[in-house]
Amino acid sequence: MKEFNLNTLVRKNILSLQPYISFRDHNEFNAPVMLDANECPFGEFNRYPDSSQKKLKNKLKELKSLSPSKIALGNGSDELIDLIIKIFCEPKKDAILMMNPSFAMYAFYAAVNENEVLKLDLDENFEILKDDFIKITQERDIKVFFLCSPNNPTGNSVQDIEFFVKNFDGIVVIDEAYIEFSGNRSGIELLDKYSNLIVLQTFSKAWGTAGARVGAAYASEEIIRFINTVKAPYNVNSLSQELILNLLDNKDKLKENVEKVLEERVWLEKQFKTIECIEKVFPTDANFFLIKMKNVEKVYNRMLEEEILTSKRAPAIPDCIRINVGNREENEKLISVLKRIAS
């Protein structure tokens, strides 16, 4: 990796952009009369949320052992992905790199921003071929590389992830939406070593609060400063901040959720082995399975008729369906239906 200079990667207009700063959120008051933001003086949630999410970042500081200045919060990880592309990728000029197959929103937000999307095809085990990675990064000028680990929709974790961080001259984003189910060490441990690294995590999966839409980015103070400059002023609402704050006071809930999911994951995998229409169950580090089916269209449509919603992965992964781990009642219904289909 060349000597890293963040300012050479950031779009020029972003370098000079001034952030929106809420005077209220950047000062301390004892009993203020709030007549500054044109809010209604009546109502339970009549005030704008804390634009800098101070309380929530201080809670995450304890959990992640990171300074709040190295934390940015978003309206889900999706918003953070969008912001990262906007910060570093010049429309109609720059390119991103992603694994193929992987999370579709990397390509979506790049397309919205008119950036080229380059894809690294994974091998038969859904691993990145290092030679292919080196080749494409030497041949093409790429600003941002998205690494999803564990990967969605394949379920496996990226091996030797540090190799890709240290051998990439742009920004590397490790998306760890499913990290809690894997038992793997987080890329957060690499932040002090690599200033080109951003780690994304979410409260949507293991924490069980997808409806709250809260994601987190962990990176250097410089990168976080740019994210906070570009984000909307009140991007995480008061209800969501309050919900996550209460959740962080009860970390046992996370442990309980993960243990239950892993228990159900083991049970489901055993059941899948007994079902005739299932050709292969791919190894998973996440809360879902990628499953190769015989007569995949028939299986998918029959499950749909029974109101079992799954994710068909064709054409990217032929003959495969992604099925996430439910509770025991949901999982028993799934297995019952699959057995009927196979009979």
Split at pLDDT 50, 70, 90, the class of 6 is: very high
Burial 22-34 (b: 16+ CB within 10 A, else e): beeeeeeeeeeee
Please indicate, yes or no, if residue 129 is contained in any of the structural domains.
yes
- Per-residue pLDDT of 185-195, as tens digits, reads 999 999 999 99
Q: Do both 58 and 202 map to the same domain?
A: yes
Split at pLDDT 50, 70, 90, the class of 219 is: very high
So what's the pLDDT on residue 17? 93
Task: Return the structure tokens found at 231.
Answer: 């984000």
Q: Do both 149 and 17 map to the same domain?
A: yes
Mean pLDDT score of the chain: 95
Rounded distance between C-alpha atoms, residue 249 and residue 167, angstroms: 39
Rounded distance between C-alpha atoms, residue 177 and residue 200, angstroms: 7
Split at pLDDT 50, 70, 90, the class of 4 is: confident
Please indicate, yes or no, if residue 219 is contained in any of the structural domains.
yes
Task: Return the structure tokens found at 311.
Answer: 């994710």
Q: Do both 217 and 265 map to the same domain?
A: no
Q: Do both 193 and 229 map to the same domain?
A: yes
Average pLDDT on 155-162 reads 97
- Per-residue pLDDT of 42-98, as tens digits, reads 999 999 999 999 999 999 999 999 999 999 999 999 999 999 999 999 999 999 999
Q: Which residue has the tokens 């690499």?
A: 190
- Which of 185, 220, 249 lies at the terminal end of a domain, its last residue? 249
Q: Which residue has the tokens 């932040």?
A: 191
Rounded distance between C-alpha atoms, residue 297 and residue 312, angstroms: 9
Is the pLDDT score of 238 beyond 70? Answer: yes
- Which of 249, 273, 298 lies at the terminal end of a domain, its last residue? 249
Q: Do both 271 and 216 map to the same domain?
A: no
Neighbours of 337 (CB within 10 A): 17
Q: Look at residue 214 and give its three-state secondary structure.
A: coil
Please indicate, yes or no, if residue 40 is contained in any of the structural domains.
yes
Q: Look at residue 18 and give its three-state secondary structure.
A: coil
So what's the pLDDT on residue 215? 98
Q: Do both 200 and 280 map to the same domain?
A: no
Please indicate, yes or no, if residue 297 is contained in any of the structural domains.
yes
CATH code, 277: 3.90.1150.10
Average pLDDT on 253-258 reads 94
Least confident of 20-34, 123-137, 177-191: 20-34
Percent of the chain clearing pLDDT 90 (strictly above): 91
Q: Do both 323 and 260 map to the same domain?
A: yes
Is the pLDDT score of 342 beyond 80? Answer: no
Split at pLDDT 50, 70, 90, the class of 21 is: confident
Which of 154, 147, 197 lies closest to 176, judged by CA?
A: 147
Q: Do both 63 and 177 map to the same domain?
A: yes
Q: Structural domain of residue 312, as residue ranges?
A: 253-342
Please indicate, yes or no, if residue 93 is contained in any of the structural domains.
yes
- Per-residue pLDDT of 91-120, as tens digits, reads 999 999 999 999 999 999 999 999 999 999
CA distances from 210 to 64, 199, 207 (A): 20, 19, 8
Task: Return the structure tokens found at 151.
Answer: 């990967």
**DSSP string covering 84-96:** HHHHH--TTT-EE
So what's the pLDDT on residue 2? 61
Q: Do both 214 and 151 map to the same domain?
A: yes
Q: Do both 109 and 141 map to the same domain?
A: yes
Sign of CA dihedral 102, 108, 113, 117: positive
CB proximity list for 159: less than 8 A, separation 6 or greater: 127, 128
So what's the pLDDT on residue 297? 94
Note whether 215 and 73 are within 8 A (CB). Answer: yes
Please indicate, yes or no, if residue 289 is contained in any of the structural domains.
yes
Split at pLDDT 50, 70, 90, the class of 130 is: very high
How many domains does one find in the chain? 2
Which of 277, 318, 313 lies closest to 298, judged by CA?
A: 277
So what's the pLDDT on residue 128? 98
Which of 97, 140, 94, 99 lies closest to 113, judged by CA?
A: 94
Is the pLDDT score of 1 beyond 70? Answer: no
Please indicate, yes or no, if residue 43 is contained in any of the structural domains.
yes
- Which of 249, 267, 287 lies at the terminal end of a domain, its last residue? 249
Please indicate, yes or no, if residue 1 is contained in any of the structural domains.
no
Q: Do both 263 and 238 map to the same domain?
A: no
Q: Do both 222 and 267 map to the same domain?
A: no
CATH code, 179: 3.40.640.10
Q: Which own/partner contact pairs does 224-228 have at CB distance under 8 Å and 24+ positions apart?
A: 224/69, 224/70, 224/71, 224/72, 225/69, 226/10, 226/14, 226/87, 227/72, 227/80, 227/83, 227/84, 227/87, 228/19, 228/52, 228/72
